């Protein structure tokens, strides 16, 4: 039975490389996958899923107007699995479309993404996924300052931690760090 999976973790938890591995495994078995990624994430080019380890692949970009159900339903032959990267950036309506893909088409959907932003608030896409996913799985990583599990994202501006501002600013390790709760609220002085 097809299900909607939400696999979340902090930055550098290996979410994108896991998506790429799942896609590879399906395709090595002669199965078809469709891979989507939000168009807002243009770090490696619009429509590209890339891991920090240097592996990437093309994906279908998701904009506000994209109808994921319509795209998947029109595919011939139907895909065996649908994969979505950076799920925190999709809209609630996209999550409902993913639910339809699972429930009406019987195709499993696996979404990878962040749970919370640097303000320690749920992303809208992640909140919708938490409400609708059949299975929710955490992908763990460690704090950049200690060996505790990273549960928060710390944002830096001019070398100082910031806790307010634009919610979405596409950037990498030079701007954001995955940290434990202790280091989120009390980051070491002069760390970035």
Per-residue pLDDT of 145-168, as tens digits, reads 999 999 999 988 888 888 887 766
5-24 mean pLDDT: 93
Fold of 4-138: Rossmann fold (3.40.50)
| Averaged pLDDT for residues 129-134 | 98
Q: Which tops the pLDDT comparison, 31 or 44?
A: 31
* Res. 121: pLDDT tops 90: yes
Which token pair is 39?
Answer: 């168009």
> Residue 60 pairs with which residues in a beta bridge?
36
Task: Quote the pLDDT of residue 106.
Answer: 98
Sketch the domain layout of the chain as residue ranges: 4-138
Q: What is the pLDDT of residues 45-90, one digit of tens each?
A: 788 788 878 888 989 999 999 999 999 999 999 999 999 999 999 9
Q: 176 with 133: CB under 8 angstroms? A: no
Q: 70 an active-site residue?
A: no
On the 0-12 / 13-18 / 19+ scale of CB atoms within 10 A, 85 is buried
List all residues 6 or more positions away from 108 whose beta carbon is below 8 Å from its beta carbon: 2, 3, 4, 5, 80, 81, 82, 102
CB-based contacts of 40-47 (< 8 A; 24+ apart in sequence): 40/89, 40/168, 40/170, 41/85, 41/86, 41/89, 41/170, 42/170, 43/170, 43/171, 43/172
Q: pLDDT, tens digit, for every residue of 85-108?
A: 999 999 999 999 999 999 999 999
Position 37 scores a pLDDT of 94
- Residue 180 has φ and ψ, to the nearest 5°, of -80, 170
What's residue 190's pLDDT?
A: 62
Work out the pLDDT band at 192, boundaries 50, 70, 90.
Answer: low
**What local confidence, expressed as pLDDT, does residue 175 receive?**
80
The active-site residue out of 76, 86, 132, 137 is: 86
With tokens 């395709």, the residue in question is 27
**C-beta separation of 102 from 2 below 8 A:** yes
The H or E element containing residue 135 is: strand 135-138
The pLDDT tens digits of the residues spanning 21-39 come to 999 999 999 999 999 999 8
For the stretch 21-24, contacts whose Cβ atoms lie closer than 8 Å and that sit 24 or more positions apart, written own/partner, are 22/81, 22/83, 22/110, 23/57, 23/83
* pLDDT greater than 90 at residue 174: no
């Amino acid at each position: 039975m097809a299900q909607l999976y939400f696999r979340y973790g902090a930055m550098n938890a290996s979410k994108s490389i896991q998506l790429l591995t799942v896609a590879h495994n399906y395709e090595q078995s002669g199965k078809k996958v469709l891979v989507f990624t939000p168009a807002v994430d243009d770090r490696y080019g619009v429509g590209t899923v890339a891991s920090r380890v240097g592996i990437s692949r093309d994906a279908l970009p998701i904009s506000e107007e994209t109808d994921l159900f319509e795209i998947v339903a029109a595919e011939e032959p139907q895909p065996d699995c649908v994969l979505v990267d950076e799920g925190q950036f999709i809209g609630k309506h996209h999550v409902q479309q993913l639910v339809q893909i699972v429930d009406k088409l019987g195709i499993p959907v696996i979404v990878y993404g962040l749970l919370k932003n640097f303000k320690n608030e749920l992303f809208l896409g992640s909140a919708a996924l938490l409400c609708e996913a059949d299975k929710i799985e955490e992908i763990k990583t460690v704090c950049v300052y200690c060996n505790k599990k990273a549960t928060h994202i710390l944002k830096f501006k001019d070398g100082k931690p910031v806790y307010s501002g634009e919610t979405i600013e596409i950037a990498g390790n030079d701007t954001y760090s995955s940290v434990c709760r202790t280091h989120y609220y009390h980051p070491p002085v002069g760390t970035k």
